[in-house]
Amino acid sequence: MNMSDFSLKGKLAVVTGGNRGLGQGMAVVMAKAGADVVSIQRGDSCPETAAQVEALGQKCYAISCDLAKLESAESVVAEIEEKFGPVDILINNAGIQRRYPAEKFPIEEWDLIMQVQLRSVFLMCQAFGCRMLERGSGKIINIASLLSFSGGLTVPAYAAAKGGIAQLTKALANEWAARGVNVNAIAPGYMATDMNTALIGDSTRSAQIMDRIPAKRWGIPEDMGGTAVYLASKASNYVHGQVICVDGGWMAR
Ligand code: NDP
């Protein structure tokens, strides 16, 4: 193989939740590897991400879409491909968290988590995947979690959804691998983003978490970069249905 197999030059990458957190980290690394980027979030713009992507000489477009209300992603992919061209890479990253003891978990919050963290991901995979299958090539990266493997505490909906992401990734890979579309997932460990503000602020929980991370630090969005580029690039063409942990060694403990 050549090192150019890792290049994303000339590619178009769509990142849900590319405006901040892990999505921003992955959007910027896509640009570093040569791709133009479309970020999908609730707002109309992603100024911070756009500034970083454009500073690298790549284009960054923002599309507004509330995944909590998504019933079909057909119009989303149609709008993006009409305006910006064929999508080579889809990163399903956007997500939310809700914490309640399981016996008190409100069903509306369960439904919301399932919609944003699992149902909308399937709709996005289906709509973008159809077009990738027609072209015979494409890379889909779903963002899973350590809770794709374990149950966690007070996050039953999130754990159920992220377990579903791991299974969905494998199910799609089985059907699409021979047709030129790679579907894989990244399971981040404990990452310092807005989603974890409460955990980071809880000194007891934060110390317990840190104690278990072999790398002895929380992850940062940039830590997602190497794995994201690898799974988005030709270098991973024979990799299908994998859930790769980027977790500072957490799963090895
Ligand atoms: P952040 O809270 O920092 O960012 C969440 C992103 O999702 C934002 O860009 C947000 O955009 C977008 N988003 C949320 N709800 C919607 C919606 N209804 N429609 C469109 N976009 C939405 O989270 P992280 O960066 O930490 O998490 C990113 C992914 O990684 C998630 O799937 C999360 O579950 C997963 N993950 C995170 C871990 C961590 O430790 N941080 C660990 C394991 C997995 P906006 O609000 O602007 O619309």
| Contact yes or no for 40/236 (Cβ under 8 A) | no
Backbone angles phi, psi at 86, to 5 degrees: -65, 140
2 has pLDDT over 90: yes
1 has pLDDT over 90: no
pLDDT of 116 reads 98
Nearest to 162 by CA among 123, 116, 201, 198: 116
pLDDT of 61 reads 98
Distance (Å) from CA 104 to ligand 1 centroid: 24
pLDDT of 115 reads 98
β-pair type (36-41, 12-16): parallel
pLDDT of 57 reads 98
Q: Each residue of 70-84: pLDDT tens digit?
A: 999 999 999 999 999
| Contact yes or no for 40/16 (Cβ under 8 A) | yes
pLDDT of 122 reads 99
pLDDT of 227 reads 98
Q: Each residue of 17-58: pLDDT tens digit?
A: 999 999 999 999 999 999 999 999 999 999 999 999 999 999
List the residue whose alpha carbon is closest to atom 34 of ligand 1.
Answer: 95
Q: Which atom of ligand 1 is nearest to the CA of 39?
A: 9
pLDDT of 133 reads 98
Q: Each residue of 137-159: pLDDT tens digit?
A: 999 999 999 999 999 999 999 99
Q: What is the mean pLDDT of the chain?
A: 98
Question: Does residue 22 line the site of ligand 1, with CB under 6 A?
Answer: yes
Question: Does residue 25 line the site of ligand 1, with CB under 6 A?
Answer: no
Q: Which of 61, 158, 190, 230 is catalytic?
A: 158
Pocket test residue of 14, 16, 20, 97 for ligand 1, highest count of atoms within 8 A of CB: 20
Distance (Å) from CA 211 to ligand 1 centroid: 25
List the residue whose alpha carbon is closest to atom 44 of ligand 1.
Answer: 145
158 given a catalytic annotation? yes
Q: Each residue of 77-114: pLDDT tens digit?
A: 999 999 999 999 999 999 999 999 999 999 999 999 99
Distance (Å) from CA 195 to ligand 1 centroid: 7
Query: Which pTM value belongs to this model?
Result: 0.99
